[in-house]
Amino acid sequence: MSNRKYFGTDGIRGKVGEYPITPDFALKLGWAAGRVLAKDGVKKVLIGKDTRISGYMLESALEAGFASAGVAAAFTGPMPTPAIAYLTRTFRADAGVVISASHNPFYDNGIKFFSTEGRKLDDAIELEIEAELEKQIDCVESKQLGRASRITDAAGRYIEFCKSTFDHDLSLSGLKIVVDCANGATYHIAPKVLRELGAKVIKIGCEPDGVNINENCGATDVKALTKTVLEEKADLGFALDGDGDRIIMVDHKGNRIDGDLIIYIIAREALRQGQLKGGVVGTLMSNMGLEIALKNLGIPFVRAKVGDRYVLEMLVEKNWRLGAENSGHVLLLDKTTTGDGIVAGLQVLAAMIRNNMSLAELCQGMTMLPQILINVRYTGNPLANAAVKSAIEQAETQLGNEGRVLIRKSGTEPLIRVMVEGSNHSQVQKLAEQIANAVKASN
């Protein structure tokens, strides 16, 4: 990714109003992407967005850019990222575009692309788009301009798709589920999916106003969900992020169930059903407890770099189906082409019903090792700082073979992510704080 100027691990992202998340850049990006994609015969793209107020501005600018390159754009309105991947395929569109900054605050936004197969664009194509961005914008002849249209039944189509991934012999009847949609793109999707499959649904985080997306709610903050699950004596809770490609769950006792536990449940159930193909792909951040639990089941496990695009690449390379990040990105390639929080949650529910077990009971068999993650905002290059290097080396020496230290830059925010994992919680906490303090001091 180091040779890219704009694209990160998850598209182009930044603060609204600051380059490159500006209307003039979005206009040129639409033109540049249209120029590159048109070389392969692309004439129609789908454009979806989450609920951020800036989405209206950016979708208009993108559409104008695509039109100037001779590419038609069809708008879906607020829709989850995985919905755009699905709809791009079903509408036989040549590409899909999502305007979202996922789990980030409302004042951030981003733009990412899907191929006609519903997968993120190849690195080579993103580099071609970046090359076009360096050129002077022009316009096709008037009769070749792209047209704009709106898809009115996008939500209904995606709801039916989500339901189709849930075994038709099963029902959610009798289950009380709290769903937190982070005031994001799933607010009009997830509750309907669960309700139409038979569940009693309690909604929170389903009143987007353009600025409350991910604010004290959703997959990045499950306190409100946990409180509601316990108060309502619900069977479990779903927490989705702003664009719906992540899920964190809460069991009836209020325990947080992250992506590692979710993929463990799904992989074990696939093994039980005789449907497991290959193994599981995690990331460098995946808890060692997941690796140990899968090994005990005889399920192969490998780690990819952090980022769902790298998990996907590894799955394709190995021809496996199941992968996840502990942050809640869960990839089920036998169901869909990208991370989908709703679809992943439905597979966990199916395992609960088939085995007549609660979510808490399904998590038994995997013991999470203490893992501390501290995010530190940075300037400059703290990873080259001598004090930071020394703190990392000291932590690695103390942990020995019974733990791990992982320090990395976020691909979507100006953050250094400090992760320390080991068997002793207090030791892990202390070492993570020492490294984080060294990073802060280096700014």
Q: Which backbone phi and psi does 73 adopt, to 5 degrees?
A: -125, 135
The Cα–Cα gap between 247 and 240 comes to: 5
The Cα–Cα gap between 292 and 418 comes to: 22
Catalytic residue numbers, as ranges: 102
User: Cα separations (Å) of 320 from 261, 289, 358?
Assistant: 19, 21, 28
Q: Which residue has the tokens 């096709």?
A: 140
CB 284 within 8 A of CB 303: yes
Around 7, how many Cα atoms within 13 Å sit in the side-chain half-sphere?
23
The 3-state secondary structure of the chain reads CCCCCCCEECEEEEECCCCCCCHHHHHHHHHHHHHHHHCCCCCEEEEEECCCCHHHHHHHHHHHHHHHCCCEEEEEEECCHHHHHHHHHHCCCCEEEEECCCCCCCCEEEEEEEECCCCECCHHHHHHHHHHHCCCCCCCCHHHCCCEEECCCHHHHHHHHHHHCCCCCCCCCCCEEEEECCCCCCCCCHHHHHHHCCCEEEEECCCCCCCCCCCCCCCCCCHHHHHHHHHHCCCEEEEECCCCCEEEEEECCCCEECHHHHHHHHHHHHHHCCCCCCCEEEECCCCHHHHHHHHHHCCCEEEECCCHHHHHHHHHHHCCCEEECCCCEEEECCCCCCCCHHHHHHHHHHHHHHHCCCHHHHCCCCCCCCEEEEEEECCCCHHHCHHHHHHHHHHHHHHHHHEEEEEEECCCCCEEEEEEEECCHHHHHHHHHHHHHHHHHHC
Around 429, how many Cα atoms within 13 Å sit in the side-chain half-sphere?
3
